[in-house]
Chains A and B, each alone.
Chain A
Amino acid sequence: MTAPDLDLLRGTLDLLILKTLSWGPMHGLAVLRWIEDVTGQRLQIEEGALYPALHRMEQRGWLDAEWGYTERNRKAKFYRLTTHGRRQLTAELSKWSRYTEAVGLVLARQGAR
């Protein structure tokens, strides 16, 4: 197992979950695996924080949850992006890009070391 080198920035977990679920309904573990696969294990997601985030987003109406069966016929809770959640994803994405842009501007400035 490779040690993860990046801690997750606060507030970006929601964005990652929304983006991941935009590919289709998944259960919690699948969301986690998806992020790990895509980032090549570089991003450490605190597993304990994942479920509260999912449930909170469900409460806000961004996600819809249903029980269903996995390919291996195990009962699991699947999360699906609602219309509201899709709108939220768009909003968060633009916020994120504005944020990184601003941070980038500061960091790109050449200065005395």
Chain B
Amino acid sequence: MSSAPRPRRVFRIPFSRSALRTGVDDELRFHIEGRIEELMSKGLSRGDAEREARQRFGDVGAIERELVVMDRQSMRRRSIREQLSALAFDARYALRGMGRRPLYTAIVVVTLALGIGANTAIFSLVNAVLLHPLPTPGLDRLVVIREDILGLNLLDAQLSPGETVDLFARRDLFAATAAQSGGSMNLTGQGEPQRVAVVRTFGDYFGLFAVRPFVGRFYRPDASTTPGTRVVVASYGFWQQMLGGDQRAIGRSVELDGIKFEVIGVLPRDFQYPRSAQLYAPFLLDPSWLTPERRNSLNMTVIARPRDGLSAEQVATGLKMEVVRWHDRYPGYDTAGQFVLHATPFVAYLAGDLRAVLLALMGAVGLVLLIACANVGSLQLVLAARRAKEIAVRAALGAGRATIVRWLLVESLVLAIAGGVLGIGIGVVILRLVTRLNAAQYRLLTNVHLDARVFAFTALVVVVAALLFGVVPAIRAARVDLQDALKDSARGSSLSFARHRFLQGSVVVQVALTLMLLLASALTVRSLARVLDLDPGFHAAHVTTMQLTLPRARYANNAARIAFYNTLIDRLRAIPGLESVGLASYLPFAGGTDSSPFELPGRPAAPNEPPRHANTEVIAGDYFRAMGIPILRGRNFTAADADGAEGMIVDEYLAKSFFGNEDPIGKAIIHNNRGTIVGVVRSVTQEYLGQAPHPTIYHYYPQSPWLSFTTAVVRSSLPDEQVAALARGAVRDLDPQLPVFDMKSMPERISASLTPRRLAMYVLLGFAALSLALSVLGIYGVISYSTAQRTQEIGIRMALGANPRDVTRMVLRDAMILAVLGVVAGGVLFLGVGRVLSSVLYGIGPRDPLTIALGVVVLAGVAFIAAYVPARRAARVDPLVALRGE
């Protein structure tokens, strides 16, 4: 048995495609030749041997093709493996390098971490609010259907149950539909009585959101049409807090407004919609809801999933046709065109005004990242110049340009990954700050956490950052002059002209982007100041408010409710320290209004008159005094208004709009009832500062006793908590079963309405400060470095008679040219893209000249200071030392 020969290794298996084919060819030819020789040695002729060999082998061509395909695959796999191991080598090398330069590495990693962390934090908000607010698959396909009644200036209103039922029937438009009606009920029998948010659901609500019970079961969609269904499903939070998170809570009952409901199931933790919801119960559809008269009781939020393949336009057209149908079927709708049904993406509806804020912030963090990258890029370039010798050695040892670029890019990537890891930590801190500042007002922000999507985004940011700050320095560094670099052993080679340009460019970029962030934050500060300057029409200070609702079960008739309210007001008034006490149905800044048409008998509508439609406000006690709303004309309500013809008080806006200079006192008005105007009060802002005014008519509660809910308003110089405790005590004395909820001071309510503005302002301010700090460091670093490079030149100048002041001026001038270029570039860019801020600004345009001037001055000043320190140092150069030193 002859042992196989040991092959001498000649060259690696070829990698190129044609070489592959030749390789396969050679291998097979060798085989067949070998066979032929074998056969010929057995006595066959050349021709016979060849025929025999080929026949034994089979289809050479086909096998050859098969082999080439296989080899190509293994070649690819092998080249990937080899590249990975080269990358691993570079990464190890980079880590060793980082260890040798701990200070430099720390500066770079922290800078990157700040930029990346800001992105991680804001993206996780965007992710939680805009991208993935609920775990429902295909959430982005859901739409909310709302109506605009243009004639009433009523936009994005809910639908009536009748309209909802009609939309549910449009199976040609919607694959799934459901609706909800918000509300709250008094929870009793579990310690202190409480107000809980109960969502009434209609249609296959849980099915639409594709949610499954965490514990227990859900009620069926037809529960709405099954009278006497008394079941509730609990949110995860309610189950934890009120039911002890106990599985056995299923089947227990809770008492709501004095009626027992059975708890049949619990929603999973990640399904929290609506954010405030605590319990879900079927909306009980009374047939009376479907009469044409009740089609304007708008209380349902309709959510639907359009059929697959339907475009937004097709859905819009379908809704338009539906409105036409309703006009035909139910006379009394507003004239066509005044009434519009529209579908909004559910996710956008959910995000509300946070959407614009978050998008603006996302843009801002993009700028922060660019600044960080420009900063690190210049550091990397300087470092590469210092390491020219190290790079030259590798080049001399045979590393090509591509290898060196790859090596330096891997170093950048390793730095960026370190920055990303630290950045996630920083992001978590930023996120905590942002959500803690705003969570009280924004339930959307309560459940923000880092998930796989956020980590993927961060990874992407890391790679982008590494490329942004790494590519140019790597390419520049790879263009190394071997001779020069290796010979010049004393110091790293000085910067070439092109490299200098890059450093200068990075300063310009940093200044430009910082200016944009400064301007954006200054605009939000100024617009918040403007909003705060707005007069809501009442004096918010020292006003404490709280809500209560009388359950119909125990306060069934008007007399019972009036008696309760009267006693409550008397009790509160009797407490020393409570200066004035009032009740109102729809307190300003407490959310919600009730608007309905009114008539002015004998006064035909003027051509430019606004629609005759007013907010209803039912008040009691000293409401105007408690709120600090001045009575401009006429009088306040008196006990006499409780009987006989109804007196109504209108606001200034209504008086001006419909009576002009005429005195409205004594004029007839029909709003729910027929009455007379007895007074005019100052207009108040109803929902948020800066809102357009809407006519308001005040009714005296004894004449509108249908009211079962109310907000108590107390003016007192006592501390808010004390007032709250006193009021709570008074209510408990009257009815221990009655919860007092939503206790807030009036300034708190106004402040809460400003949350999106404040969120935008704080976060932008923070990022502007951060980028200002980064670019100060950037300017300082670049100027210091370039003056250090010019030590010799400066020494010559001084030896030739230049005085220190000339040197300082020269350095400063060079620095300020860069600053001015940056400011101009940033200003021009801001004029271009500042428009995205429009929706978060109030009373100030994105091109406000004063703000822009201020930003420019601040930034130029800061740049001057950052350059002044190295400029002074340059002037202290001793010419002798400088000339000898090199």
- A residues in contact (CB < 8 Å) with B: 23-30, 37, 46-48, 51-52, 55-56, 58-59, 65-71, 74-78
Contacts and interface: CB of A to CB of B under 8 A. Distances in A.
Contacts of A75: 10, 26, 30
A28 B11 CA distance: 18
A12 to B, nearest CB: 19
Contacts of B35: 29, 47
B58 interface: yes
A67 B13 contact: yes
B554 interface: no
User: Which residue of B11, B12, B31 has the most chain A CB atoms within 10 A of its CB atom?
Assistant: B31
A48 B57 contact: yes
Contact of B71 (A24, A55, A78): A55
Contact of B63 (A26, A29, A51): A51
Q: Which of A27, A29, A47, A58 has the most CB of B within 10 A?
A: A47
A77 B23 contact: yes
Nearest to A50: B31
B70 A59 contact: yes
A47 B70 CA distance: 17
A77 B71 CA distance: 13
Contacts of A37: 1
22 contacts: A24-B4, A25-B7, A27-B27, A27-B31, A28-B31, A47-B31, A47-B57, A47-B58, A51-B27, A51-B63, A52-B63, A52-B66, A56-B70, A59-B70, A66-B7, A66-B9, A67-B23, A69-B10, A70-B5, A71-B5, A75-B10, A75-B30
Interface string B69-82: 01101100100000
B67 A55 contact: yes
Chain A interface, >50% SS class: mixed
B58 A46 contact: yes
Contact of A29 (B1, B30, B67, B77): B30
B6 interface: yes
A85 to B, nearest CB: 14
Nearest to A65: B13
Given A47-B56, A59-B70, A67-B13, A28 B7 contact: no
Contact of B8 (A29, A46, A48, A69): A69
A65 B11 CA distance: 11
A59 B26 contact: no
Given A29-B30, A48-B59, A75-B26, A23 B4 contact: yes
B74 A55 contact: yes
B10 A77 contact: no
Nearest to B71: A55
Interface string B21-63: 0010011101100110000000000000000000011110001
B291 interface: no
B622 to A, nearest CB: 89
B715 to A, nearest CB: 84
Contacts of A25: 4, 6-7
Nearest to B34: A29
B4 to A, nearest CB: 4
Contact of B30 (A24, A27, A48, A56): A27
Nearest to A21: B4
The winner among B5, B13, B28 for most chain A CB atoms within 10 A is: B5
A29 B58 contact: no
A18 B70 CA distance: 19
Interface in B60-110: 63, 66-67, 70-71, 73-74, 77
A67 B73 contact: no
A78 B27 contact: no
B3 interface: yes
Nearest to B66: A52
Contacts of A67: 7, 10-11, 13, 23
B28 to A, nearest CB: 7
Contacts of A74: 30
The 5 closest A-B pairs by CB, nearest first: A68-B7, A48-B58, A59-B74, A78-B7, A24-B4
Contacts of A29: 30-31, 34-35
B26 to A, nearest CB: 7
B466 to A, nearest CB: 32
Contacts of B71: 55, 59
A3 B10 CA distance: 39
B7 A59 contact: no
A69 B11 CA distance: 11
Nearest to B56: A47
A24 B3 contact: yes
A52 B58 contact: no
